A = this chain, B = another copy of it.
């Protein structure tokens, strides 16, 4: 059991989920975000913090031996937004972790958008080349590289999870391949903190979907077995909406609509 687990971005979708369901992992859960986080729960402590503020981040990380880093910009945005949240924020977090005598182990919420330009007909594993689909995706490649550097140089362990689509249930056909059920995300994080030696793995965050694209064999040592399967929702999806056509990026590329130009409109 951890002494103190920090959850960043704890008011976001995934951060809230982690806050709600990971309380058993540590004696104290420190939840953090820029915005409001409500009341502290029984074993919680709340610290408001902007990840772009280096000194504040250092204070935030102090005393923690585990970090679930869900903070940052979660979708494509202008470069300035992505840079501040996902580039500078990551550096601040890892510098703080390096200085902390508690040597925190880190879960980094990377993203499938680090490999979004691979076609959906291709199977990937952790050794596949990165093909980010926008600033957001590039920032995740950056984050994984930063984590690896802090592992090789300073021994900080990180699990980079390339999260697919973590929502209560699949809401479009692409999610038949990318869905990560909340239960499976939680069980994955539990496994990451339970294993004595983690290393610095890249893990595809997807449930046991019949139509999955990603191969996690290399991280079988974690003992994580996702239990859910998006296939259970296929009929419902087929009934509710048309399948995307063959030219639609949602049907062609793993990153889906992120591969279409969104930000660079001028």
Chain B residues closer than 8 Å to A152, beta-carbon distance: 117, 131, 133, 259
Q: What's the Cα separation between A124 and B142 when bound, in Å?
A: 21
Q: Specify how many copies of this chain sit in the oligomer.
A: 6
| Cβ of A137 to closest chain B Cβ, rounded Å | 7
The chain B residue sitting closest to A113, CB to CB, is B149
Q: Mark A53-76, 1 if CB is under 8 A from B, else 0.
A: 000000000000000000000000
Interface core residue of A153, A194, A213, A223 (most chain B CB under 10 Å) = A153
How many A residues touch the partner, as a band?
A: 35 or more
Contact present for A197 and B145 (CB under 8 Å): no
Which of A11-19, A22-30, A162-170, A240-248 lies on the face that meets chain B?
A240-248
Chain B residues closer than 8 Å to A145, beta-carbon distance: 130, 132, 137-138, 141-142
Contact present for B153 and A196 (CB under 8 Å): no
Chain B residues closer than 8 Å to A199, beta-carbon distance: 119, 121
Contact present for A246 and B196 (CB under 8 Å): yes
Contact present for A243 and B120 (CB under 8 Å): no
Give A residues with C-beta under 8 Å from B.
79, 83, 87-88, 91, 95, 98-99, 117, 119-123, 127, 129-135, 137-138, 141-142, 145-146, 148-149, 152-154, 173, 176-177, 194, 196-199, 201, 209-213, 215, 217-218, 220-225, 231, 234, 243-246, 248, 251-252, 259, 261, 264, 266
The 5 lowest CB-CB distance pairs between A and B, nearest first, are A211-B223, A196-B251, A117-B152, A141-B145, A121-B199
A/B interface sample: 25 pairs, CB < 8 A: A79-B95, A83-B87, A83-B88, A87-B87, A117-B148, A117-B149, A119-B199, A123-B217, A127-B129, A129-B148, A130-B148, A131-B148, A133-B152, A141-B141, A142-B142, A153-B261, A173-B196, A196-B243, A196-B244, A196-B245, A196-B248, A211-B222, A211-B223, A212-B220, A225-B231
